[in-house]
Amino acid sequence: MKATITHSGKSYQVDLTKPLDISIPMSSHPKNMKAWYLDPLSMEPVKGDGFVGEVAQGGSVNFRNILFNPHGHGTHTECLGHITKEIYSVNEHIKQFFYLAEVMTFSPKPMDKDLVVTLEQFKSKRKYPSSEAVIFRTMPNSNEKLHRQYSDSNPPYIEESLAQHLCEAGVKHLLIDTPSVDREVDGGKLLAHHAFWNVPANPRFDCSITELIYVPHEIEDGLYLLNLSFASFENDASPSKPLLFRLA
């Protein structure tokens, strides 16, 4: 299935049968990636009144309860409800799901004991300023990110001034391959989150941050069509499955 899309007066060809999945699966396997000091994700068959929700145990169907946290067990998309006193839902506020997105690769700069993606780096690499979404791949990059245990590791994050610039430039969707756009332990400041969503000054309700993606090396830097889909949880964040499509 092929389609022609038009954006900012320019037309592109896209093959919808060739998606590039940049999500990290959620699994109960002990090696499943996790962050934020969480216990592993669990999947347990429902049992009761003679019923067992597992075919291997004699049940007629597999019927499992799943205990997970979207922020720490896999790829997730969050809205500004993540940092507000009021309860805002990603399902309620993110209503568009296709965007032009620029994939960009960065080697975070050492700053004291941290590794930070800076505004200077972003400005030097930005090639498609009309894209509504940006996708940050941090180096080093390997499929070890699919299994990494991030807790207490102080992963790379982005500079507050970069988040502010994205807000001012009209970028609505930021995707990154780390657990957070902010420092793991920052005293609850969440400076980049606040700057990107412009909270509390002028909140950007239709903007999202997607964390814990994985962008394989086979996906080159450049412009793509992004399908940003997530489960319809009425929550600040939801598990998501961002897909990229090459443009011609």
Q: 171-188 pLDDT, tens per residue? A: 999 999 999 999 999 999
Q: 88-103 pLDDT, tens per residue? A: 999 999 999 999 999 9
**Total count of domains within the chain:** 1
Residue 37 in any domain: the answer is: no
Residue 139 in any domain: the answer is: yes
Q: List the beta bridge partners of residue 224.
A: 101, 246
Nearest by Cα to 88 from 235, 202, 197:
235
Q: What pLDDT score was predicted for residue 227?
A: 99
Residue 34 in any domain: the answer is: no
Residue 40 in any domain: the answer is: no
Residue 52 in any domain: the answer is: no
Cβ neighbours of 149 (radius 10 Å) = 12
Q: What pLDDT score was predicted for residue 58?
A: 96
What is the full DSSP assignment across 181-241?
SS-SSSTT--HHHHHHHTTTTS--TT-EEEES----TTS-SEEEEEEEEE---SSSEEEEE
Residue 210 in any domain: the answer is: yes
Q: 46-70 pLDDT, tens per residue? A: 999 999 999 999 999 999 999 999 9
Q: What are phi and psi of 6, to 5 degrees?
A: -125, 130
Domain boundaries, position 21: 2-27+71-246
Counting residues of the chain whose pLDDT is more than 90, the rounded percentage is 99
- CATH code, domain carrying 196: 3.50.30.50
Residue 53 in any domain: the answer is: no
**Residue whose structure tokens are 């999500």:** 23
